[in-house]
Amino acid sequence: MESSLDNTMLALADPTRRAILARLEEGEARVTDLAAPFDISLNSVSKHIRILERADLVRRRREGREHFLSFNPAPLDDAAAWIEARRAFWTKRLDALERALVADDENNGRRKSK
């Protein structure tokens, strides 16, 4: 049972891969181009790319011997949605707490919910 959200989050849990995605915002790039800024081997970068592809965050277009990678932001939707759901809840909860405190102030009563 491997959720695609698992793959997306895992792909984002590494600074090299996040940098690769940020770099791909400038447009397509070859594996060699993506590897250039990093102090790791080309092979390691190739592996990072595979993890990004598994998460479908990166798409590959072959042209001869060169592989052009591009950024596909679609999987970020689910990731953002999950995080926002947690954050929205928390905001709501803080608001509720604030209202409760104000109400408490007004009638000076004790309340216990649920």
Q: Site residues (CB under 7 A) for DNA?
A: 10, 13-14, 16-17, 30-33, 39-44, 46-49, 51, 60, 63-68
- Going by C-alpha positions, the residue among 43, 33, 23, 37 that lies closest to residue 67 is 33
Binding to a second copy (CB under 8 A) within 48-77 occurs at 71, 73, 76-77
- Token pair 């592996």: residue: 47
Binding to a second copy (CB under 8 A) within 8-37 occurs at 8-10, 12-15, 18, 21-22, 25
Q: Torsion over CA of 95, 101, 106 and 107, rounded to 10 degrees?
A: 120
For residue 79, state whether it binds a second copy (rule: CB under 8 A): yes
- Token pair 């000076």: residue: 108
Select 90 or 95, whichever has its Cβ closest to a second copy: 90
Q: How far is the CB of 80 from DNA (least distance, A)?
A: 21
Q: Torsion over CA of 79, 84, 90 and 96, rounded to 10 degrees?
A: -150
Select 65 or 114, whichever has its Cβ closest to DNA: 65
